[in-house]
Amino acid sequence: MTDEWATSKAAEATEATIGADLHIELRGSGLRMGLMDALRDAVRTGRLAPGTRLPSSRTLAADLGLARNTVADAYAELVAEGWLTARQGSGTRVARRATPRKPSPGAPRAARPARPGPTYSLMAGSPDLGSFPRAEWLKAARRALTAAPNEAFGYSDTRGRIELRTVLADYLARVRGVYADPDRIVVCSGYVHGLMLLATVLRRRRVRQVAVESYGLDLHWQRLKDAGLRLPALPFDERGTRTEELAGPGMKGVGAVLLTPAHQFPMGVALHPDRRAAAVDWARSAGGLILEDDYDGEFRYDRQPVGALQGLDPDRVVYLGTASKSLAPGLRLGWMVLPEGLVTEVAAAKGETDWASGTPDQLTLAEFIASGAYDRHVRSMRLRYRRRRDQLVEALAERAPDIRVSGIAAGMHAVLELPPGTERTVVQAAAWQGLALEGLSSFRHPSTPPARDALVVGYGTPPDSAWSGALDALCRVLP
């Protein structure tokens, strides 16, 4: 340990004990009384909240140009009056019982406290956020930022950092069967951002219609609609989305199609090989594009992994991936593997609105993947989600044997079949039980007629501590 390091740490410790910066205006009545009046007023109005740690008498005296004894005497009197508290090692703080006065008539009212959220959530689409690998991520961040060149913190390539694009190309080829040259990858701020960029490019290419699946997320559809695109829906059956109908008269004028082929969301079916081929055949013959949403391709349990559709024709398929399901949506990291002819246009569209994604997280993710930590995390989460899926199936078999479960060979959610006419009632009953839950109708395209009542249960969402409670609440509301 060097003297410089020890001195630096001592300075940091001193700064950490100083307390909050204060804006104090002294008015008449002497310096000590003026300071006391200003502090009382700050507490009364709530500008200094109960428990706030004040600067030391030395620090505040230096800030205000007062003698230290003046500040120390003011603090002592306010402690005696009950406005402040002082304790050895804890400094001087605003007393917990000190409360702000009621606002005068006409003053702005404070916002009402938000209603408490649900006790449990089984909403689909989110991973277990409590399992984010904080320690490993921090190690990767330290290594990545230590090794980063200075230019990495400037304005970077619109497509994303080359370190991340290179690592992603290797990873996607190895794990998902994607043809992914680094020069054909564009990093974006999550899947929705990528979809918005693609919608912009499609409109500029005079595409007016993008076919979508009959079940999906309205949030995604709305982003396409916002770009002025029409969204005809393809029918769905037990073999997945009926992509052969892309060549039919009902899809005339369609220039692209949005699919979740590895694990249809939310129905949970892998697209049949014949229909994968039909989609690629349509794209080649019609000059169209397939937008492949591979949102949870790493998580599979009872079947062989289904490779990305992009591997069948990299010049006709745009592959979209994200760290939102494998790590956490708060990272805001996604990627597109583009046909060569689209890279310049997509990068230009990104540059118009969001020049570059954040460098530190890109470099950290690159290091996280390259070190093998990403693979280890995915394997660990795959085991965890599989255990939860098995517990869900076992609980339903015991407590709700008439409920059929489907879509569970992969992913982080299941579809629970309900008796006809009961979906809305069950969702309402769940809300009364403090359980956030969605019915299948929430994911149905407006042009798709109702087919069945069901629940979409996200068993990946709850933290471990809440999983058994969420499962019990679910079983209580099922018919």
Q: Tens of pLDDT along 407-459? A: 999 999 999 999 999 999 999 999 998 999 999 999 999 999 988 999 999 99
CATH topology of domain 121-126+378-477: Aspartate Aminotransferase, domain 1 (3.90.1150)
Which residues does residue 212 pair with via DSSP β-bridges, in sequence order?
233
Confidence bin at 32 (pLDDT 50/70/90): confident
Q: String of b and e for 80-112 (b: at least 16 CB within 10 Å)? A: eeebbbeeeeeebbbbeebeeeeeeeeeeeeee
Q: What is the pLDDT of residue 210?
A: 97
Three-state SS for 144-167 is HHHHCCHHHHCCCCCCCCHHHHHH
Lookup result for tokens 């991520």 = 137
Mean pLDDT check: name the lowest of 179-188, 273-282, 305-314: 305-314
Condensed to tens digits (0 to 9), the pLDDT of residues 153-171 reads 988 899 999 999 999 999 9
Query: CB 20: neighbour CB atoms within 10 A?
Result: 12
| Burial grade of 401 (CB within 10 A; 0-12, 13-18, 19 or more) | exposed
Distance from C-alpha of 178 to C-alpha of 176, rounded to nearest angstrom: 5
pLDDT at 26 over 80: no
Lookup result for tokens 């740490």 = 9
Q: What is the pLDDT of residue 74?
A: 86
Condensed to tens digits (0 to 9), the pLDDT of residues 450-474 reads 889 999 999 999 998 999 999 999 9
Q: Kindly report the length of the chain.
A: 479
Mean pLDDT of the chain: 88
Condensed to tens digits (0 to 9), the pLDDT of residues 97-135 reads 645 444 445 545 555 545 567 899 999 989 999 999 999
Q: Cα torsion for 173, 174, 177, 181, to the nearest 10°?
A: 0
| Spatial CA neighbour of 201 closest among 354, 355, 348 | 348
Q: What is the pLDDT of residue 101?
A: 47
Q: Which two tokens stand for residue 363?
A: 């470099």
- CATH class, domain 131-375, is alpha beta
Any residues with CB less than 8 A from the CB of 83 and at least 6 apart, and which?
39, 40, 43, 94, 95, 98
| Spatial CA neighbour of 321 closest among 355, 363, 351, 292 | 292
Stated pTM of the model: 0.79
Are 414 and 407 in contact, with CB atoms under 8 Å apart? yes
Confidence bin at 191 (pLDDT 50/70/90): very high
How far CA 334 is from CA of 111, 294, 337, in Å, comes to 35, 11, 10
Mean pLDDT check: name the lowest of 105-109, 239-243, 271-275, 427-431: 105-109
Percent of the chain at pLDDT exceeding 70:
91
Confidence bin at 282 (pLDDT 50/70/90): very high
Helices then strands, each counted (H, E), the chain: 14, 17
Identify the residue with better confidence: 297 or 426: 426
Distance from C-alpha of 280 to C-alpha of 285, rounded to nearest angstrom: 9
Distance of CA 386 to the CA centre of its chain: 22
Q: What is the pLDDT of residue 3?
A: 46
Domain at 18-113: CATH architecture: Orthogonal Bundle (1.10)
Q: What is the pLDDT of residue 16?
A: 39
Distance from C-alpha of 227 to C-alpha of 205, rounded to nearest angstrom: 12
| Spatial CA neighbour of 187 closest among 303, 346, 342 | 346
- In the chain, where are the structural domains located? 18-113, 121-126+378-477, 131-375
Q: At what angle do helices 68-81 and 31-44 cross, to 10 degrees?
A: 50
pLDDT at 195 over 90: yes
Condensed to tens digits (0 to 9), the pLDDT of residues 320-371 reads 999 999 999 999 999 999 999 999 999 999 998 876 778 999 999 999 999 9
pLDDT at 43 over 60: yes
Condensed to tens digits (0 to 9), the pLDDT of residues 1-20 reads 444 444 334 333 333 344 56
Distance from C-alpha of 455 to C-alpha of 400, rounded to nearest angstrom: 14
Lookup result for tokens 């989460």 = 381
